[in-house]
Amino acid sequence: MAGVRIDGLAKRYEAVTAVEGVSLDVRDGEFLVLLGPSGCGKTTTLRMVAGFVAPSAGRVEIGARDVTHEPPYRRNIGLVFQNYALFPHLSVEENVAFGLRRRGVPEAAIRTRVAAALARVKLDGFGARLPRALSGGQQQRVAIARAIVIEPDVLLLDEPLSNLDAQLRHDVRAELRLLQTELGITTIMVTHDQDEAMSVGDRLVVMARGRVQQVGTPADIYRRPRNRFVASFIGRANFFAGRAEAGGFVTASGLRLPAPDLPPGADTLMIRPEAVTLVAQGAEGLPATIETATYLGAGWEVDLRLSTGERLSVVTPAGDRAWQPGQALAARIDPALGVGLHGDV
Ligand SMILES: Nc1ncnc2c1ncn2[C@@H]1O[C@H](COP(=O)(O)OP(=O)(O)O)[C@@H](O)[C@H]1O
Ligand SMILES: [Mg+2]
């Protein structure tokens, strides 16, 4: 087992900078998720860790070993891709055995280790089948077995669940997290799906335009996003432009919102939809009118127009009340849940 240290990593193609100045410390046994929109440099970063893409600048260390110039097969990594990448003409067993054979592991040990890996991913008894005789979820389990059977120092996963349908994606991601915890294997996974990232990652790395925007636990990132990009990529958010003043925030239209602990110079206030409580008209709060109200079973999504003109999206638990467009009420913002931000990415 080993941690991974990435230092000042960059990849520049002629016309594009795919990755710039990425530095990360992945702890031994940690599950780290690279998260960001398509094209932000996640795959390129992962492929530089794997050794398939040569960095334009920077270093990669696995354990305490500098592997920047080592070929992939010398890095002892397990890889899983979105499209499974199984050998179609080889049985499940032979697919999983492949890396062990290449390493010259004795036949008896191969059999034991392959059987153990297949049992780990709940595919005992499937060894003789060809990949095409398996469902997508089963094929991805074979790919995971193939990656872990070599006892890699690091497991690298690139959008491993993206080809699975919603229910299966949900199940396989829970299995993947459990497996990773049991094996204690340092893991870096790439995804563009924030729910997936939040549900499996010990820490998330939010990327945009080739750069790291923020690194932190899911809760850190949700509650204390560093900039507007992160705030809107992870969850939903209301933004108000304006300036921080003693004990609060004043929007461009002159609305004063409660918000302690804003960083000096903050020019944007972010309020999560669930930080707003709807109360009766005339009660303490910001006077507002409902523009749209959508019932979602567990709660309501309500879009408000404040009397000062701003819009505010609210998510509120379903109680006895029904909310309707045109209804006048007051919106109470929990001051502890407002987050001050600096500008944009
Ligand atoms: N071999 C390449 N040649 C030129 N541009 C590339 C190459 N690989 C990736 N890119 C570009 O680098 C950027 C990041 O790509 P990628 O790492 O695949 O993003 P992601 O995995 O986050 O979707 C994109 O703009 C992509 O088009
Ligand atoms: Mg990608």
pLDDT digit string (tens) for 54-104? 999 999 999 989 999 999 999 999 999 888 789 999 999 999 999 999 999
Mean pLDDT value across the chain: 93
Chain region(s) in the chain for CATH 2.40.50.140: 236-341
| H or E stretch covering 330 | strand 328-333
Is the beta carbon of 38 within 6 A of some atom in ligand 1?
yes
Backbone dihedral angles phi then psi of residue 143, each to the nearest 5 degrees: -60, -40
Ligand approaching nearest to the C-alpha of 211: 1
Ligand 1 nearest atom to the CA of residue 44, by list position: 17
pLDDT at 155 over 80: yes
236-341 adopts what CATH topology? Answer: OB fold (Dihydrolipoamide Acetyltransferase, E2P) (2.40.50)
Name which residue sits closest to atom 24 of ligand 1, judged by CA. Answer: 39
Chain region(s) in the chain for CATH 3.40.50.300: 4-228
Going by C-alpha positions, the residue among 328, 236, 316, 330 that lies closest to residue 291 is 328
Is domain 4-228 annotated with CATH 3.40.50.1780?
no
Rounded-to-integer distance, Cα 123 and Cα 211, Å: 39
Ligand approaching nearest to the C-alpha of 81: 2
Tell me the CA–centroid distance for residue 193 and ligand 1, in Å. 18
Q: Tell the residue number behind the tokens 């499937």, with chain if given.
A: 126
Is the beta carbon of 17 within 6 A of some atom in ligand 1?
no
Helix (H, G, I), strand (E, B) or coil at 299: strand
332: confidence class by pLDDT, cuts 50, 70, 90: very high
Taking the CB of residue 170, how many other CB atoms lie within 10 A of it?
14
Q: What is the pLDDT of residue 43?
A: 97
List, for residues 220-267, the tens digit of each pLDDT value.
999 889 899 999 999 999 999 999 888 788 998 888 887 777 887 888
Q: What is the pLDDT of residue 1?
A: 64
pLDDT at 206 over 80: yes
Q: State in Å, rounded, how far the first CA of the chain is from the last one.
A: 36
